[in-house]
């Protein structure tokens, strides 16, 4: 069974009185444990697609199943549950809370999901991303690469099987970006399904499969 199965996904946004068609019938199947990158020009629909795959947004038409469970048509409460149980999300802007320590930022989703505040879990995640020594620091004291590592640790705290990242290295220099990709490769080796949107073709080629999206269609159309 595929971990993600998207069929005929469309997304239309309203811009004033105009309809903007961001996705025009995307079919995409991703197997558990794959490392996939999504590339394409600006405005192609990459973010629209990732947000739908991650249940942050709903499609205008088409169907999505996560781990064999149909997602389409579910209400926000159910989508929150699916996100919590299956999906970790990483963004270009790290979205850390500046008044919380690194450790507290990583643990925040545990509070939102009503899970026990597992300090050992937080410590082991910080170790995994190479930031054990930064647990008591604040985001403002970190470099961009370190902030993104914190965001990745936070995305993993609920043990998701799927990690989605939208231009995660867009604000980082190439050496730092390389380190973040190494971390994705490591997570992939540990069995997590990793899906990364990037502008950078060279980084994209490091994945097992590169998907190109153009004008709202995958690989030129399907």
Ligand X SMILES: Nc1ncnc2c1ncn2[C@@H]1O[C@H](COP(=O)(O)OP(=O)(O)O)[C@@H](O)[C@H]1O
Q: Which of 4, 5, 39, 46 binds ligand X (CB under 6 A)?
A: 46
Distance CA 112, CA 123 (A): 19
Measured from the Cβ of residue 64, the count of other Cβ atoms closer than 10 Å reads: 23
Residue nearest to Mg ion (CB): 47
Residue 59 lies near ligand X (rule: CB under 6 A): no
32-51 footprint of Mg ion as x/- string (CB under 5 A): --------------xx----
Query: Minimum distance between the CB of residue 81 and Mg ion, rounded to whole angstroms?
Result: 26
Whether residue 4 contacts residue 30, with contact meaning beta carbons closer than 8 Å, is answered with yes
Distance CA 160, CA 4 (A): 13
Q: Which of 19, 20, 118, 143 binds ligand X (CB under 6 A)?
A: 20
Query: How far does Cα 34 stand from its chain's mean position?
Result: 14
Whether residue 170 contacts residue 92, with contact meaning beta carbons closer than 8 Å, is answered with yes
3-state secondary structure of 80: helix
Binding site partner of 194, from Mg ion, ligand X, none, Cβ cut-off 5-8 A by kind? none
Q: Which of 3, 48, 195, 207 binds ligand X (CB under 6 A)?
A: 48
Q: Which residues bind ligand X (CB under 6 A)?
A: 13, 15, 20, 22, 40, 42-48
């Amino acid at each position: 069974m595929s971990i993600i199965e998207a069929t005929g996904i469309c997304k239309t946004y309203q811009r004033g009185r105009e309809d903007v068609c961001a996705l025009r019938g995307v079919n995409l199947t991703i197997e558990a444990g794959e490392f996939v990158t999504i590339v394409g020009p600006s405005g192609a629909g990459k973010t629209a697609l990732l947000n739908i795959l991650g249940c942050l947004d709903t499609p205008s038409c088409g169907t999505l199943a996560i781990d064999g469970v149909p997602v389409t048509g579910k209400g926000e409460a159910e989508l929150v549950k699916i996100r919590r149980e299956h999906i970790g999300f990483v963004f270009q802007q790290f979205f850390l809370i500046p008044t919380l320590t690194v450790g507290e930022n990583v643990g925040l989703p545990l509070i939102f999901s009503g899970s026990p505040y597992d300090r050992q879990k937080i410590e082991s995640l910080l170790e995994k991303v190479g930031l054990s020594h930064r647990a008591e620091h604040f985001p403002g004291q970190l470099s961009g690469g370190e902030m993104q590592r914190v965001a990745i640790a936070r995305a993993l705290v609920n043990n998701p099987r799927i990690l989605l990242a939208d231009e995660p290295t867009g604000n980082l220099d190439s050496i730092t970006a390389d380190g973040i990709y190494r971390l994705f490769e490591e997570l992939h080796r540990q069995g997590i399904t990793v899906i990364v949107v990037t502008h950078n073709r060279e980084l994209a080629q490091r994945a097992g499969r590169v998907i190109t999206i153009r004008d709202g269609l995958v690989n030129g159309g399907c």
